[in-house]
């Protein structure tokens, strides 16, 4: 982000776009950057939690597959 790199709302928006496009790792990085700029930013924290929550089924599948 060249124009306003210290704008937590912009990082949150980037995270939302990445999450909607199916790029959870990029989304997580953007939400974390937003939270570094504004600790306690509730919207970014909620969005970060939602991305992690959506990853739980794939994590469970990976664990179950490694035990077989």
Q: How many CA atoms lie within 13 A of 52 on its CB side?
A: 10
Top-confidence residue, 3 or 12: 12
Q: How many CA atoms lie within 13 A of 47 on its CB side?
A: 29
Domain ranges of the chain: 14-67
Confidence category of residue 55, pLDDT binned at 50, 70, 90 = confident
In this predicted structure, the answer to whether residue 68 has a pLDDT above a threshold of 60 is no
Confidence category of residue 1, pLDDT binned at 50, 70, 90 = low
How much is the pTM?
A: 0.78
Residue 21: both structure tokens together: 């496009």
**pLDDT (tens digit per residue) in 17-42:** 999 999 999 999 999 999 999 999 99
What own/partner pairs with CB < 8 Å and gap ≥ 24 does 17-20 have?
19/47, 19/50, 19/51, 19/54
Burial zone of 62 (CB within 10 Å; 0-12 exposed, 13-18 middle, 19+ buried): exposed
pLDDT value, residue 60: 58
Domain 14-67 in CATH 1.10.287? The answer is no
């Amino acid at each position: 982000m060249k124009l306003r790199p210290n704008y937590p709302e912009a990082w949150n928006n980037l995270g939302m776009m990445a999450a909607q496009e199916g790029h959870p790792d990029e989304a997580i990085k953007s939400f974390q950057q937003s939270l570094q700029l504004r600790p306690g930013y509730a919207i970014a924290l909620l969005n970060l939690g939602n991305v992690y929550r959506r990853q739980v089924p794939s994590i469970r599948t990976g664990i179950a597959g490694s035990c077989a």
